[in-house]
């Protein structure tokens, strides 16, 4: 019974430690792992009575820094890609709106031109009929 409690509480403790390191690493498991390794190496050296700043600690610090730089790079790349996608979507929307407006303007211009041509044609036909009637009256026509 005591062994079962020990395993349970040991698991809860391990989960808490893992959560702590993951939270402090900003959700990056790689950085959390490197930080945990660095802290474990430091604790082991202290337990052995060694001086801090030895070769192992420096290499763990370099690994941690490298992991943080890689994570920052990944986040920046993802952010840039997201921003680019948003800009592309906006530009596509603007292009569609411009195409709609151009099509509407073309249709309206076509209608206006057609109406103007019809009006001009009707005016010319009317004036020609009046002129023919007027000229015809001089020469004995209707």
Q: Decide if 120 is inside a domain.
A: no
Is there a domain that residue 77 lies in?
yes
Q: E-assigned strands of the chain?
A: none
Across the chain, which distance is largest between two alpha carbons, in Å? 135
Cα separation, 40 vs 1, in Å, equals 30
Instruction: Give per-residue pLDDT as tens, 116-130.
Output: 888 888 898 888 777
- How many whole angstroms separate alpha carbon 54 and alpha carbon 45? 9
Cα separation, 93 vs 28, in Å, equals: 36
pLDDT-derived band of residue 95, with 50, 70 and 90 as boundaries?
very high
- Our count of domains for the chain comes to 1
Residue 139 lies in a domain: no
Rounded to two decimals, what is the model's pTM? 0.40
Any domain includes 124: no
Task: Say if CB 22 and CB 29 are below 8 A apart.
Answer: yes
Mean pLDDT of the chain: 81
Please indicate, yes or no, if residue 119 is contained in any of the structural domains. no
**79 domain-assigned:** yes
In a domain, 105, yes or no: yes
Reported as a single tens digit per residue, the pLDDT across 5-18 is 777 877 777 778 77
Question: Quick one: pLDDT at residue 103?
Answer: 92
Residue 12: domain span? 2-114
| 44, part of any domain | yes
């Amino acid at each position: 019974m005591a062994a079962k409690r020990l395993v349970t509480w040991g698991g809860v403790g391990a989960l808490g430690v893992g959560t702590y390191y993951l939270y402090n690493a900003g959700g990056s498991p790689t950085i959390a792992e490197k930080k945990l390794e660095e802290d474990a190496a430091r604790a082991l050296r202290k337990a052995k009575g060694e001086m801090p700043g030895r070769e192992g600690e420096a290499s763990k610090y370099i690994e941690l820094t490298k992991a943080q730089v890689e994570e920052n790079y990944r986040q920046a790349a993802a952010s840039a890609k997201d921003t680019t996608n948003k800009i592309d979507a906006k530009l596509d929307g603007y292009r569609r709106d411009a195409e709609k407006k151009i099509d509407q303007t073309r249709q309206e211009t076509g209608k206006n031109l057609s109406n103007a041509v019809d009006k001009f044609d009707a005016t010319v036909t009317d004036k020609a009929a009046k002129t023919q009637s007027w000229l015809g009256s001089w020469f004995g026509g209707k």
